[in-house]
Structure 1
Amino acid sequence: MLINVFKSKIHRVKVTQAELNYVGSITIDEDLLEAAGIRENEKVQIVNNNNGERLETYAIKGRRGSGVICLNGAAARKAQPGDIVIIISYAWMTPEEAEKHQPVVIFPDENNRIVK
């Protein structure tokens, strides 16, 4: 049996753009993706702290060091620039793997940069 377990999250980043006329997804600064262990095209859940919206989409790489968090396509209707969101990834694991798993949590600064 496999269970779906919280793998990682980028906690409280600011949406920098919302592009309605784009083919779906969320664009995330590559530095943030790497730090959270989220791969390009991986399914992610977005939780909007400003309006309570939740959605699932897939991640695409944004320019490294740019701080970009851009909701694209229909997802652009769920947030606007300035909203604070949490980006969560999950992984399928056996219960034994899940018992040992330690999720990665990234806490970026107010400019969506990794705090060192």
Structure 2
Amino acid sequence: MYRKLLKAKIHQAVITDKNLYYEGSLTLDREIMEKAGLLPFEAVWIYNLNNGARFETYLLEGEKGEVILNGAAARLGETGDRIIIVAYAWVADNELPYFKTRLLYLNEKNEVSQIKNL
């Protein structure tokens, strides 16, 4: 059996820009992606704390501090909104003892202030 578990959570990222006329995705600081164990083009869910929007998209590597909503997702948040970015993984029962969830907490400048591995 496989179970869908939280792989990574990036808590309280601040949207720095939006680009409506782009093909679609979330541009995210490459260092944050690396620390969260996420790859370019990996699927993620976005939860907007300001307006309650929840949507799925994929990641693109960005520059330091960047959190940019692209394409249709740009209509689901505003610059300055705080969001939670999550990725899930299907984990086989025999892999459960080795599976770890990574939590990253960001400050208002989108800098990693804390990392937890659970």
Same fold at TM > 0.5: yes
The one-character-per-residue Cα deviations of 1:31-74 (angstroms, maximum 9, x if unpaired) are 110011011100000000000000000001001xx200001000
**Which 4+ residue blocks in structure 1 deviate beyond 4 angstroms?**
none
Greater share of strand: 2
1:100 Cα deviation from its structure 2 partner: 3.7
Distance, in Å, in 1 between the alignment partners of 2:100 and 2:108 is 25
| Alignment-mate amino acid for residue 44 of structure 1 | V
Unaligned runs of 5+ residues in structure 1 are none
Count residues with an aligned counterpart.
114
Unaligned runs of 5+ residues in structure 2 are none
SS at structure 2 position matched to 1:77: helix
Instruction: Give the TM-score taking structure 1 as reference length.
Output: 0.93
1:99 Cα deviation from its structure 2 partner: 4.4
Question: What is the alpha-carbon root mean square deviation over aligned residues?
Answer: 1.2
| Alignment-mate amino acid for residue 108 of structure 2 | E
Contact 1:15–1:70 (CA<8 Å) still a contact in 2?
Answer: yes
SS at structure 2 position matched to 1:8: strand
Distance, in Å, in 2 between the alignment partners of 1:82 and 1:67 is 13
Q: What residue number does 2:111 align with? A: 113
Instruction: Give the TM-score taking structure 2 as reference length.
Output: 0.91
